[in-house]
Structure 1
Amino acid sequence: MHDYQRPPTLYRYGRRADLEQALASGQLRLIPANRCLTFSLSQAWDKDLFEVFDADACLVIHNTEEFGERLHKAVQRTLPNWAGIDGAVEYGVRAALGAAFTKTSAEAHEQEWQFAWRSLSPQATLNPVTVRIGSLEQYAELRAPDSYSS
């Protein structure tokens, strides 16, 4: 049995300019992967992930339930014929949630939590989509790599 409860904190490693837009207006970019549109975060606060993701900042989300619900609602408004789900990525085995949540054992250090949407229309084209969910400032913050402490 899998536990699909969102972790209490999620981390999005990236470029400061992009993360500042995410914090201020909730601007998030969904990218195509495995016939889905996806948005991934990490469940880990890990200094090494700044290098893995070529990041100079990290968006730390403290209220993952609020964030997840707002993200799903925004995508539903933008892409009404798409179904969404989120959960932990599984590494080295086929994930119960399918290919979009399956990655190689070599990627396990990323400890991803992923949001994914699949079109209900088989002929849908997959292009990156930007959604806005509103300011995250009430429950998120930006951190620099030098603020890392284990």
Structure 2
Amino acid sequence: MEVTKIPVLRLPQRLPHAEAIKSFKDNQHSYEAEFWEFQYQTYRYLERLPDESLLTRYADILKNMRALVSEDRHIIPIQSFLSSWYWFRKEHQTRFEFYLRGLQLPSSVPLDITFNNVPIDSIVRPKHPNSGDVLFRYDKREHLDNIVNQGIIRIRPASDFQASEHNIARQDEERSKKHYLPGGYTRITTENGTSIPITGDVERMVTMPNYYIFCMSCDWDQGLFPAFDGDACLIIKNVEEFSRRLEYAATSRLPGWYFHHNPIQYFDPYERAKNEYFDATMSKNFRFAYQREYRFLWMPQNGEEPNGFKFLNLGDLSNLAEVHNESRNQGVSQLNKVN
């Protein structure tokens, strides 16, 4: 039996395949809470995080776990944010920092809680996490109807989001991304080698020129309706054709701009993995991981700047997409196809 200093949440009974674990130069101990505590004591990356920020981090992790822990994610190695195990480790180490500070969580988490997200009333699901073979957009029905029936897609500058959105799910700085080097493990010196005292953590930032984006989600989730103030969901069933039409429709509006699309990669701003992919366009703070974003972007190549919204006409999309309403009946979510 594991000997840990804090209680352990009920962990999955299934591990990734032994060869998958080995491919990351890991072993079974990487999936044990006792080892997580040992790791954290040797590299206490949250030590200088203010109490309020630690509370926010913990709440964000629990929110992600309610959406991302599921049977199909138990088999993904722990290093990936796509893995259930990734989130159990983050939860335990963050709660361990509370313990080391002698702090209590504002509300207790039942230790027998079972995180196992099972989508309710899902119309269609992706083949596997982040596969991007089917996409979802949560919004007002009238906007989604325009997309399907008229093929009108509105793309917007990345800079708009932090400045103009009041919706917390959309409120992010899309042109720059920050992460932190724990001050207790970081050394900064002057040119002559004199150490400069570090009182907190060291902030590092990557930035990109402004660009255009259109965002969707990789999965069905009832929780994303209220998160995006939506009453309906657009489902793209043929992502390859949808992407081709997007690219073609933008050629006359944004000639010469680089077009790219991919699922977002989420990162822990206080514990970056070695060689982890990280940039300002396709990486996001893991506080947003529950959204499972899939992003289409257009990047200028010759110093151009986005200038307001752009409307792209893709033509009739009724053969590629459907819109479904969200309705509730006695507390149970139901879906009715919009014809």
Taking structure 2 as the reference length, what is the TM-score of the superposition? 0.40
| Structure 1: distance between partners of 2:278 and 2:312 | 23
2:151 is aligned with 1:26 = yes
**How does 1:104-119 map onto structure 2 within 5 Å?**
104-119=285-300
2:187 is aligned with 1:62 = no
Q: Which residue of 1 aligns with 2:320?
A: 139
**How does 1:95-134 map onto structure 2 within 5 Å?**
96=277, 98-134=279-315
| Structure 2: distance between partners of 1:97 and 1:15 | 32
Listed one character per residue, the Cα deviations across residues 9-51 of structure 1 (whole Å, up to 9, x for unaligned) are 1001111111000001111111111211000100010000001
| Structure 2: distance between partners of 1:133 and 1:126 | 20
Q: Which residue of 2 aligns with 1:76?
A: 251
- Taking a change above 3 Å as real, the CA distance of residues 9 and 97 of structure 1, as seen in their structure-2 partners, is farther
Match of 2:137 among 4, 7, 12: 12
Larger RCO of the pair (alpha carbons < 8 Å, separation 6+): 1
Q: Which residue of 2 aligns with 1:38?
A: 213
Alpha-carbon contact 1:23-1:135 (below 8 Å) kept: yes
- Structure number with higher strand proportion: 1
SS at match of 1:100: coil
Alpha-carbon contact 1:6-1:65 (below 8 Å) kept: no
Total equivalences in the alignment: 144
Aligned-pair distance for 1:81? 2.4
| Structure 2: distance between partners of 1:76 and 1:15 | 28
Gaps of 5+ in 1: none
Q: What RMSD over aligned residues (CA atoms) do the two structures have, in Å?
A: 1.9
Aligned-pair distance for 1:141? 0.6
The letter for the 2-side match of 1:59 is L
Alpha-carbon contact 1:6-1:87 (below 8 Å) kept: no
| Structure 2: distance between partners of 1:27 and 1:144 | 19
Gaps of 5+ in 2: 1-129, 159-174, 176-209, 328-333
- Taking a change above 3 Å as real, the CA distance of residues 85 and 71 of structure 1, as seen in their structure-2 partners, is same
Q: Which residue of 2 aligns with 1:52?
A: 227
Alpha-carbon contact 2:211-2:306 (below 8 Å) kept: no
Aligned-pair distance for 1:124? 2.4
Rg larger for: 2
| Structure 2: distance between partners of 1:6 and 1:85 | 16
Alpha-carbon contact 2:132-2:263 (below 8 Å) kept: no
| Structure 2: distance between partners of 1:84 and 1:68 | 10
Aligned-pair distance for 1:108? 0.2
